[in-house]
């Protein structure tokens, strides 16, 4: 069975990579490519746009125009756009794979309500390597416990608009849950001035933005006399795109509900 996939944000860096990943995947077919209604790319061939050759799928300016043409929508755009797309997909019974980050609490609540009728795979990071790191972080936190200080470092390209990254925050959630803490209470986002001695219960975050860094994440467990570090470095967006396409093929066969890459990779 071939899963028909739609990609929104088709003209962006991630959108083009997703189109390429769909074309390379077995069991998947690009059925639709969507951009903003005012985009100059409307009407362009999605394959030529992504650099994979002409495939006969034209970029359109509205998901409503192609909602009957696909089984799963992959959305790595922006919160407002993703929320609007979720409403359309829910009304049409279409599954979604969502990698959008930066939702406000209000947007998150609205999105959660919108997607209840459909199968959704949502993750802050679709890389297989990153999701393995989530598993390793849970193990490390449980073993090392309260005997270490924990710091999360992340770096991304200059164009990324939210900080810390969704992946870094997910790492923080994994760590906090493993240690029985509430991340909202223990997270420290940057330090400046006379901060005083470090509280061991806190989880620190450091953010770097610059250049064309695709995504670097390191979690340090620092004790007296030793430290353990778990690091993931992405050199290409294709690692995220391949995972998203894998998730799309998987979620198309699932009942309505909310899933993530831990479910796709059977890491629970």
Positions marked catalytic: 156, 160
Sheet with 215-223: list strands edge to edge: 187-189, 203-209, 149-156, 215-223, 226-234
- Nearest-5° Cα angle at 160, 156 to 164: 70
- What are the residues facing 234 on neighbouring strands? 215
| Token code pair at residue 176 | 């906090």
| Token code pair at residue 23 | 């074309």
Which of the 8 DSSP states describes residue 180? Answer: T
DSSP 211-236: TT--EEEEEEEEETTEEEEEEEEES-
| Token code pair at residue 152 | 């999360």
Q: How many CA atoms lie within 13 A of 105 on its CB side?
A: 0
Q: What are the backbone angles phi and psi of residue 80, rounded to the nearest 5°?
A: -60, -45
Is residue 58 within 8 A of residue 45, CB to CB? The reply is: yes
């Amino acid at each position: 069975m071939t899963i028909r996939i739609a990609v929104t944000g088709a003209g962006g860096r991630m959108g083009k990579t997703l189109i390429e990943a769909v074309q390379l995947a077995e069991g998947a077919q690009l059925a639709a490519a969507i951009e903003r209604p005012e985009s100059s790319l409307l009407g362009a061939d999605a394959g030529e746009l992504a650099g994979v050759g002409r495939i006969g799928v034209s970029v359109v300016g509205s998901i409503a125009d192609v909602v009957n043409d696909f089984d799963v929508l992959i959305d790595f755009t922006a919160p407002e756009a993703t929320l609007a797309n979720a409403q359309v997909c829910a009304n049409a019974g279409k599954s979604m794979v969502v990698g959008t980050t930066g939702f406000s609490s209000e947007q998150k609540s609205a999105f959660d309500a919108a997607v209840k009728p459909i199968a959704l795979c949502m993750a802050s990071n679709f890389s297989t390597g990153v999701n393995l790191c989530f598993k390793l972080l849970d193990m490390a936190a449980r073993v090392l416990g309260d005997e270490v200080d924990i710091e999360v470092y992340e770096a991304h390209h200059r164009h990324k608009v939210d900080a810390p990254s969704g992946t870094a925050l997910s790492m923080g959630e994994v760590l906090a849950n493993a240690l029985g803490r509430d991340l909202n209470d223990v997270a420290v986002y940057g330090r400046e001035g006379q901060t005083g001695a470090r509280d061991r219960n806190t989880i620190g975050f450091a953010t770097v933005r610059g250049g064309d860094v695709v995504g670097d994440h390191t979690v340090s467990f620092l004790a007296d006399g030793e430290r353990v570090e778990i690091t993931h470095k992405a050199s290409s967006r294709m690692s995220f795109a391949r995972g998203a396409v894998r998730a799309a093929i998987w979620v198309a066969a699932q009942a309505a509900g909310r899933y993530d890459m831990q479910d796709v990779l059977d890491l629970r």
